[in-house]
Amino acid sequence: MTRPVNIAMSADTGTQRKEIECPTFYTVPEAARLLRVDSATIYRAIRQDAFPAVRVRTRYVIPARAVTELAERAAESGSVVDIAEFAAQRRMARDFERAGGGAW
């Protein structure tokens, strides 16, 4: 499953607007390649509940949005983003919402 992403190009150069298909999920090797780490590192983090993933039987897939959020947080903050803290914050928000507290 992919989701279209529109990218507006500069009118000054006369280039046209392009649409790029972005995946909804990445495989572990794809996410590892994007993050420039070994697949084993991602698998370890998933097993330690320190990296967001969806398990489909014996396979894991990584939400593309999670990879994008990590990159955006690192770029916006200008500092290190700890994936374990990132995952813990997401779990707390999810648990809070499930307990009837609504969205943060």
**Per-residue model confidence as pLDDT tens digits over 27-48:** 999 999 999 999 999 999 999 8
Report which secondary-structure segment, H or E, holds 62: strand 59-63
CATH number of 25-99: 1.10.1660
Q: Identify the band that residue 2 occupies on the pLDDT scale cut at 50, 70 and 90.
A: low
Please classify residue 63 by burial: count the beta carbons closer than 10 Å to its beta carbon, then call 0-12 exposed, 13-18 middle and 19+ buried: middle
**Per-residue model confidence as pLDDT tens digits over 77-100:** 888 888 888 888 878 888 888 888
Q: pTM of the predicted model, to two decimals? A: 0.66
Please classify residue 69 by burial: count the beta carbons closer than 10 Å to its beta carbon, then call 0-12 exposed, 13-18 middle and 19+ buried: middle
Average pLDDT, the chain: 82
Query: What's the chain's Rg over C-alpha atoms?
Result: 17
The count of C-alpha atoms lying within 13 angstroms of the C-alpha of 8, restricted to the half-sphere facing its C-beta, is: 3
- Domain spans, the chain: 25-99
